[in-house]
Chains A and B, each alone.
Chain A
Amino acid sequence: MTDSKQKNILETRDVKLWYGQKEALHGINLNFPQKGITALIGPSGSGKSTYLRAINRMHDLEENITVTGSFNFNGTDIYAPTTDTVDLRKRIGMVFQQPNPFPFSIYENVIFGLKLAGIKDKSALDEAVEKSLKQASLWDEVKDDLHKSALGLSGGQQQRVSLARVLATSPELLLLDEPTSALDPVSSHNIEETLLNLRNDYAMIIVTHSMSQASRISDRTAFFLSGNLIELDDTKHIFLNPQKQETQDYVSGRFG
């Protein structure tokens, strides 16, 4: 646990969320350091994805969802009325469960965020495409096909295009919502390798159903159950020596 020594990129306190009248998160306190991977694990319906989507205000798209609590993201209050969600989402990248490149070419996909930011210089864009695709470990596979449709790629490659698209905008924080659950084991492995290569440069929060994935790639693991944060610790402590009985039961496969 190195939280206390370094400044946190994101500090959330007493996060509660309601779907209509139903309270789905019951007050989550979680802090995330400037670098490294934090995994959120827990059974389906435990609120881990819900919590993740609250961070970049994706819940704004739905009606009937209320979020309370404080979110301090590098000094920005995420839910302050004056916060510009567009700007916020530029700073917090997100990769979804389904690989979701746009129906454009690979190149256009990767530069999508940059174009939104108003960057038009061709050489800067070319450079960003190469850099992001390299970061996403996809460059060698697609460098000759940059102008072909991204939808022609395999699922794993599409997911890495989605990742490169986000990385191109240099976000401060990367949210990954079960990024490998729709992929085959080989593609999952590639994505994991990619994330491991990025862990020193980015703060990442990954929601995953796979406990083995959490144990392989994350520095810290948070265990969610029924809308509560049960335990947060270094990954090896969570898996080898958890403090709470529920965590022990879950990681040893006794329920969930």
Chain B
Amino acid sequence: MDKITQKLMQKSESTKKDSLGRAISLAALSLIVIVVISIFTFVMSRGLSTFFHDGVHVKDFLLGSTWNPSVINPQTKQPYIGALPMILGSFIVTFLAAIVATPFAIGTSLFMTEIAQKRGAKIMQPIIELLVGIPSVVYGVIGLTVIVPFIRQIFGGSGFGILSGTIVLFVMILPTITSMTVDTLKSVPRHYRESALAIGATRWQMIYKVVLRAATPGILTAIVFGMARAFGEALAVQMVIGNAALMPHDLTSPASTLTSVLTMGIGNTVMGSLQNDVLWTLAMILLLMSLVFNLVVRAIGRKGELK
């Protein structure tokens, strides 16, 4: 084999670099996949051992309304591990926060993209980004020192409860939903707006009948993302919700969420005990819910594409 043939048969320098790059990307990807699988396996195995190892009925866990894992129920010889109060608490604060935040988020994003683009970009954008970046403990402290006393004054009671939690979460998810809605509205093609106006729509008709409608899948995605964030938020909610694992019966009495019970309890239990396992089960529910939120987002995205 002469030199030229040899040279042609060899991999070139760029081809080698190419395969190196591919190998690095693949390694990074595999690492992430391994981490995700490990987390899932670990949480699931701990969480499910409540049912398989400790012999708790799924029904008792999901529908039981008394939570006190360190006390044994004399009738069933099982600890009180009804997680319904927390499950309900989590869902209620999440949905309420999303319901309150959505109109504000849509209004803010419309203002930024359709009404005052320049001021929107100059003033609102940094503010929203700042709000996203504030650590949740700061929101919690403000909730504790401002909102809780405020609620106490107006509604009486301790001031801790679902209402306070909702208000704190509303402020926390507002920037998330807003910034994603802004991105969605910006991606609505300019020619939709032009042709709506050219046919004689007023600005509001254009926004309402064309822009918002074209952006609906994106806005729904933004709301679900906000809900996922609210559902998973632990610290700030824990500081204002009162952490009483009771069935929520009104908005201003102390309640709890999955996350708040989890963070409060996990340090005080022994690994492998039932008291510890049930907390893992709560974590498992959180994980499964975030999976559900993800699937919902994907489903909305797919539906949006088909249009």
Residues of A at under 8 Å CB distance from B? 56, 58, 61, 86-87, 89-91, 93-94, 96, 98, 100, 102-104, 112-113, 115-117, 149, 151, 162, 165-166, 169
In the bound complex, do residue A56 and residue B198 qualify as a contact, i.e. CB atoms below 8 Å apart?
yes
Q: Are B199 and A100 in contact (CB under 8 A)?
A: no
Task: Give Cα A96–Cα B199 distance, bound, in whole angstroms.
Answer: 11
Please, which residues of chain A bring their CB within 8 A of the CB of B73?
Answer: none
**A151/B307 contact (C-beta < 8 A), A61-B194, A94-B195 known:** yes
Q: Which of A90, A91, A103 has the most CB of B within 10 A?
A: A103
Q: Known contacts A100-B191, A104-B213, A151-B307; is A58 also within 8 Å of B197 by CB? A: yes
Task: Among A98, A104, A149, A166, point to the contact of B199 (Cβ < 8 A).
Answer: A166
Contacts of B100 in A (CB 8 A): none
**By the criterion CB–CB under 8 Å, are A86 and B202 in contact?**
yes
- Which B140-199 residues sit within 8 Å CB-CB of chain A? 189, 191-199
Given known pairs A102-B214, A104-B213, the reply for A113 and B199 (CB within 8 Å) is: yes
Q: A93–B307 contact, CB under 8 A?
A: no
Instruction: Judge whether B195 and A162 touch: CB under 8 Å.
Output: yes
Determine the distance from Cα of A89 to Cα of B200 in the docked complex, in whole angstroms.
Answer: 5
Residue among B191, B200, B214, B307 making CB contact with A86, cutoff 8 Å: B200
Whether, in the assembled complex, B263 has its beta carbon less than 8 Å from a beta carbon of chain A, the answer is no
Q: Is the CB of B199 within 8 A of A89?
A: yes
Which chain A residues lie closer than 8 Å to B205 at the CB level? 116
Most chain A CB inside 10 Å of its own CB: which residue of B191, B194, B198, B214 = B198
Task: Given A102-B214, A103-B214, A103-B307, verify A113-B192 contact (CB < 8 Å).
Answer: no
A166 to B210, CA, bound (A): 16
Chain A residues in 8 Å Cβ range of B266: none
Q: What separation, in Å, do the CA atoms of A113 and B192 have in the docked complex?
A: 13
List 8 extra interface pairs beyond A100-B189, A100-B194, CB under 8 A: A58-B198, A87-B200, A100-B195, A102-B210, A112-B209, A116-B209, A165-B199, A166-B199
Bound-state CA distance A115–B193 (Å) is 16
Total A-B Cβ pairs within 8 A: 65
Which of chain B's residues have a CB closer than 8 A to the CB of A112?
196, 199, 209
Known A98-B191, A103-B307; contact A169-B200, beta-carbon cutoff 8 A: yes
Residues of A within 8 A of B307 (CB): 103, 149, 151
7 CB contacts below 8 A, A to B, read A93-B198, A96-B194, A100-B194, A100-B195, A102-B192, A165-B195, A169-B199
Please measure, in the bound complex, the distance between the C-alpha atom of A214 and the C-alpha atom of B296, giving whole angstroms: 51
Docked Cα-Cα span, A117 to B195, in Å, equals: 15
Closest Cβ of chain B to A151, distance in Å, is 7
Q: How far is the CA of A93 from the CA of B193 in the complex (A)?
A: 14
CB 8 Å contact bits of B191-235 with A (1 = contact, 0 = none): 111111111111001000110011000000000000000000000
Residues of B within 8 A of A (CB): 189, 191-202, 205, 209-210, 213-214, 307
Majority SS of interface residues in chain A? helix
In whole angstroms, what is the CA distance A103 to B195 when docked? 12
A116 and B194 form a contact (CB under 8 A): no
Q: Which residues does chain A contribute within 8 Å of B200, judged by CB atoms?
A: 86-87, 89-91, 113, 116-117, 169
Once bound together, how far apart are the Cα atoms of A117 and B193, in whole Å? Answer: 17
Residue of A with least CB distance to B191: A100
Which residues of chain B have C-beta atoms less than 8 A from A98's C-beta? Answer: 191
Contact across chains for B197 and A90 when beta carbons are under 8 A apart: no
CA distance A65 to B296 in the complex (A): 45
Residues of chain A within 8 A (CB-CB) of B199 are 89-90, 93-94, 112-113, 116, 165-166, 169
Which of B193, B196, B197, B307 has the most C-beta atoms of chain A within 10 angstroms of its own C-beta?
Answer: B197
CA distance A89 to B214 in the complex (A): 22
Distance between A185 CB and nearest chain B CB, rounded to angstroms: 23
Chain A residues contacting B189 (CB-CB under 8 Å) are: 100
Chain B hits for A165, CB < 8 A? 195, 199
Task: Quote the shortest CB–CB distance from B216 to chain A (angstroms).
Answer: 10
Closest CB in chain B relative to A108 CB, distance in Å:
10
Q: 4 smallest A-B Cβ distances: which pairs?
A: A90-B200, A94-B198, A100-B191, A113-B199
Q: Which residues of B contact A93 (CB under 8 A)?
A: 198-199
Option from A61, A103, A115, A149 in Cβ contact (under 8 Å) with B197: A61
Please give the distance in Å from B257's CB to the nearest CB on chain A: 38
Q: How far is the CB of A6 from chain B (nearest CB, A)?
A: 26
Please, how many angstroms separate the alpha-carbon atoms of A126 and B27 in the complex?
Answer: 59
Closest to A98 in B: B191
Which one of A89, A102, A165 has the greatest number of beta carbons of chain B within 10 Å?
A102
Q: Which residues of B contact A104 (CB under 8 A)?
A: 213
Cβ–Cβ < 8 Å partners of A91 in chain B:
200
In the bound complex, residues from chain B placing their C-beta under 8 Å from that of A149 are 307
In the bound complex, CA of A16 to CA of B84 (Å)? 71
A89 touches B197 (CB 8 A): yes
- Interface hub of A87, A89, A169 (most chain B Cβ within 10 A): A89
Q: How far is the CA of A214 from the CA of B195 in the complex (A)?
A: 24
Q: Give complex CA distance A117, B199 in Å.
A: 10
| CB < 8 Å neighbour of A89 from B191, B198, B209 | B198
In the bound complex, what is the Cα–Cα distance between A61 and B117 (angstroms)?
12
